[in-house]
Structure 1
Amino acid sequence: MADRMIVSRSALAGVAVQGALGAATSNPGVHIREVTDFAALAVIARRGRATDVAAVLSRHAGSPVVDASKRAGASNISVTGTAPGQWLALCRGSDAAARLDALRNDLNGLAAATDQGDGRVVLEITGSRARDALAKGISIDLDAIAFKVGDAAQTSTSYVGLQIALIDEAPTFEIISARSTAESLWSWLVASAAEYGIAVA
């Protein structure tokens, strides 16, 4: 009997195809990229240990992690507060799984840590019209004055729950959602951004 190999596929494989979508333009207003080389860990602090957990997360992220709806970290690892005493750690790159294992080991006894990588879709949305496109369905205020770099929120659009954070002032937004709703999220995003022209990386 022939051996069968299980091949990992991204949440939007065959859907988020590289190229141009929407209005024809030489300067697309919205750029979308699916992040595929990542590992994710949901972290829930044990009773009375939130401060200790935040300290461990800060050490791994390389910047202060707080118990609030904020995103901290660098390009290869980030930590976002999702609820009181709860965070989502996201590692990127070829060694993402190894770095996440190291984090899990350091959290032993302090928090419950559950692998979430295969159950999430991660998108980066940037461009001069990114805010306009996202504002069509996301009800929170994404204006530069109200939603700043490092801010994060749990919200929804088109009946799809998601986590949104602002990574930089470009602006670049990070959206994380359940893998099961990835295609619905993609359909909404493309429809919302179409009039500005879309570049899919």
Structure 2
Amino acid sequence: MTERVGLGIATLTARKDRTADLAEALRTAHGVDLQSGPKVSRAGSLAFVGTGPDTWLAVCEDGGWRFARDLARAVEGRGSVCDQSSGYGVLRLSGPNVRDTLAKGVPIDLHPAAFAPGDAAVTLASHVGIVLWQVDEAPTYDVAVFRSFAASFAHWLVASAEEFG
């Protein structure tokens, strides 16, 4: 488990009937092919995690607070952007027992046939709301949790992983 620090985080929602325009603006500005649904769209250090209809959690390495401002400029008139950089904490989870650990409190099927790299979910982990996405086949997962619930999530995660050492 490692905390991902220095991220720029924002929610992005397409304006009514502007999803295609928004996708084109992001392709032009960042080279990302924006996917609909619970999928992760990536371009370099930038990821757009599908969290709902025409809505994404945008995450940028070393983006800081300027990320939301720059993203809003790139999608001006096509989407709404809200800075979440101080609202979410993001953890990267990996290891041979990470699926078994998450299965103790995450009510979705994490079997590789059901949840693969690039898949995402807005779900719960032991009654704490999270955004979960699979980064690679190792498997490695990123988990975004509201900072106000981070201590509760970390407590659950440590207790769930305890049996695995």
Question: TM-score, structure 1 length as denominator?
Answer: 0.77
Structure 2: runs of 5 or more not aligned? none
Q: Which residue of 2 aligns with 1:28?
A: none
**Could you say what the CA RMSD is over the residues aligned between the two structures, in angstroms?**
1.6
Superposition pairs of residues 62-141 of structure 1, within 5 angstroms:
62-74=31-43, 76-93=45-62, 95-141=63-109
**Pairwise CA distance, 1:99:** 4.5
68-77 vs 36-45, which moves further? 68-77
Give the distance between the partners of 1:60 and 1:170, measured in 2 at CA: 31
Q: Which runs of 4+ in 1 moved over 6 A?
A: none
Give the distance between the partners of 1:61 and 1:69, measured in 2 at CA: 20
**Pairwise CA distance, 1:97:** 4.0
Q: Which residue of 2 aligns with 1:42?
A: 11
Amino acid aligned to 2:147: R
User: Which string of whole-angstrom CA distances, capped at 9 and with x for unpartnered residues, describes residues 108-147 of structure 1?
Assistant: 1111111011000101000111111001110100011110
Give the distance between the partners of 2:82 and 2:128, measured in 1 at CA: 22
Alignment check: 8 A CA contact 2:71 2:81 kept: no
Alignment check: 8 A CA contact 2:36 2:50 kept: yes
Q: Which residue of 2 aligns with 1:194?
A: 162
Question: TM-score, structure 2 length as denominator?
Answer: 0.93
Q: How much identity, in percent, do the aligned residues show? A: 37
Length, aligned pairs only: 165
